[in-house]
Amino acid sequence: DIVMTQSPDSLAVSLGERATINCKSSQSVFYSSNSKNYLAWYQQKPGQPPKLLIYWASSRESGVPDRFSGSGSGTDFTLTISSLQAEDVAVYYCQQYYGTPLTFGGGTKVEIK
Amino acid sequence: QVQLQQWGAGLLKPSETLSLTCAVYGGSFSGYYWTWIRQPPGKGLEWIGEINHSGNTNYSPSLKSRVTISIDTSKNQLSLKLSSVTAADTAVYYCARISGGIWGQGTMVTVSS
């Protein structure tokens, strides 16, 4: 199984400031035949299913604000919220879909400082 | 726009079989893998398994001996059965189409004597 490790576990950021979440996979999720990283980021608010933010490591899902961005390749990835808004308080998960079993990071809780 | 609606029994006794169904509305059933994922209270996301329209399945190794995922293409529905449940199976269960980030609303399943 590919193990996904997120850091930090929680993060408190002032409104308007940058939030950065890291995700590391135990093996590369980059598929050389199509040059894509099989890595997604989700946002989950209490009582709701996860919402897809980013796929292919850096492609923003339709309707997702452009303050959310994803970067990285191979085994190391980052989700950045460039200017934190109150509605961004949530738990964020990375997920690899390179192979089964699909696996998720443990989650990062983002709060307002 | 594709929507997933899921239902099933929410309270089970130990050793019983969990049974959930997920209906796919507004889009094609074929060409995708359809997934079951669960989330214990206050914890992270765990992939259970997936099925495509041809009935090809992949299961989590840790649950494989107890899980059956099936489809009814005539109804655009997929189903999850998990046998011999224990308190450790208490969770919110989601059906999802990972490609495109489409999730059901979730069903809370509690296992208690």
The three-class DSSP label of residue B89 is helix
Residue A21 has pLDDT above 90, yes or no: yes
Interface mutation target, options A100, A103, A109, chain B, most CBs of B under 10 Å: A100
Please check whether residue B94 touches A, CB under 8 A.
yes
Q: Do B96 and A49 touch (CB under 8 A)?
A: yes
> Do residue A49 and residue B94 have CB atoms under 8 angstroms apart?
yes
Q: Which two tokens stand for residue B83?
A: 């046998």
Q: A33-89, pLDDT tens digit by residue?
A: 999 999 999 999 999 999 999 999 999 999 999 999 999 999 999 999 999 999 999
Give the model's confidence band at B27: pLDDT under 50 very low, under 70 low, under 90 confident, else very high.
confident
CB-based contact A55 B58, cutoff 8 Å: no
Contacts (Cβ under 8 Å, ≥6 apart) of B25? B2, B3, B4, B5, B76
A41 contacts on B by Cβ (under 8 Å): none
In this prediction, residue B30 has a pLDDT band, given cuts at 50, 70 and 90, of confident
- Say whether pLDDT at B28 is over 90: no
Is the minimum CB–CB distance between B69 and chain A shorter than 8 Å? no
Residues B37-92 pLDDT 10s: 999 999 999 999 999 999 999 999 999 999 999 999 999 999 999 999 999 999 99
pLDDT tens per residue, range B4-15: 999 999 999 999
Q: Looking at the predicted structure, is the pLDDT value of residue B29 above 90? A: no
- Identify the pLDDT of residue B64: 97
Query: SS3 of A5, please?
Result: strand
Contacts of B59 in chain A (CB under 8 A): 101
pLDDT above 90: residue A94: yes
CA distance A52 to chain B (A): 5
Q: Nearest C-alpha of chain A: how many angstroms from B28? A: 20
